[in-house]
Structure 1
Amino acid sequence: MDLNSDLGESFGAWRMGDDAAMLDIVTSANVACGFHAGDPAGILDTLRAAAARGVAIGAHVAYPDLAGFGRRNMDPSSRELVADVIYQIGALQGLAAAAGTRVTYVKPHGALYNTIARDERQAADVIAALRALDPGLVLMGLAGSPLLDWARAGGLRVVAEAFADRAYTPDGALVSRREAGAVLHDPDLVAERMLDLVRTGEITAIDGSRVRLQADSICVHGDSPGAVAMARAVRQRLESSGVSLAPFAGMPVS
């Protein structure tokens, strides 16, 4: 199993999360590309720290929305969205090369992530961007979402992701952050929930029902309160139960 987190999101004097601590825990890092968060110097620092620890690098591409942290819905034209995604990946590839590492996958962020999980037009634009720049890049997306099938049909390899610190609806979508209980904060609860997912292939939805969820990677958001404690609890719980953790870049992906 892979364990990932969204990192490189600090911006100038505005500090977001604890990248150094998270990089000692996770196996893959989704690094901001400057559109929703992150500045070049900070992103480079995060990439160097990840390279030193052997953590795999993904481009955390987003809508151009610094003020809203990439969490506001947008409807860019296909021309704009394809170019925006290519631009962000290209920038991160350059910084990664300077840090002695490379970008192996792409994980969209925030509103873009949630939109392309089910919006075929915007999903096709993101897929087209990867195919135009580097078809060898793996696309990480929401487990159980149509996006994964669309990407496979477009010739991309995909990795299905589950969220440790987010609640799920009965149909396998993420509960909106506007709703109570959408974000989970108890490290022990989160860790047990992820062990249950790995063992059973199911997760308990917000209404108590069980949802089938086949995932290759688990995410703990780096900006969540107590993120480091949650990520550490998840890792310790999985490893103590015999689950090995490694970057999915070194595993077979679909």
Structure 2
Amino acid sequence: MSDGRLDATLDQLIESQSYGKAPRTGGPIGLSGQRVQPYGGRGGAGGGGGGAPRGAPRGPPQGGARISETLDDTATPQNAIKVGGNQDAKDIAHRICESCRVGDPPALLTIGGQSINQAVKAIAIARADLCKEGLQLSFQPAFRHTDRTKPLIAFYVAKERAPRQQITQGDDVTLTVASGSKIVPVAGAIAGKIRENLKISLLAIGVDAVTNAVLAVGNARLFLEQDNYDIRVEPEFEKVEKNGQVMTSMKLSLVAEAL
């Protein structure tokens, strides 16, 4: 459970603490700047020196190329599923589960907010199902476009038999992402809290809010790379009360790990 005193909307947090300035001066990452290292400097399934996160199927080329450059809107990593906005999340979840049972998890390729929302829902459904079989599922969002506010995302899914090690040991903080939240300041808020050694969960209701949350996590990963941190996401559904009504939100528990 999170401490109620720490719960806040991201917009309130940004206004009060100016977390929008996430990248530190002199760091290798900027919204339009070039990045020398890929996400975490890791390769595909083996964790070498390419662009995909550890545990992900091999997709982007090896070497020093950025994911944002090598995963464009036509790239198709091995074992990938293209997610349409009108696809049934349960069908996608079934495909994820089948892939995980026989081999590597698939990458999910998305274009647009509705597509991103369906991908997150599918991973959450698959995660709940595979948890009963002793498998832990998580994902890392990677950009498919050099503009890191565009809703073109590749979801690299990983499976493990044991839960991921969380390097942050501080209090739990639950932050609400809204449909109108600004992506880059939200990413700065996430990065700032992880630097403060706090555990972060994001709550989002609706397509736009979920999309903003995913894009913010993607940017936060880039901001934190200079601190030798990375983020994995464990999605699940959670009931919340809003305006007197019980609604289903998407909870994204962020697991910070050392590179």
TM-score range, shorter chain: 0.3 to 0.5
Relative to the length of structure 1, the TM-score reads: 0.33
Query: Which has the larger strand fraction?
Result: 2
Relative to the length of structure 2, the TM-score reads: 0.33
Query: Which has the larger helix fraction?
Result: 1
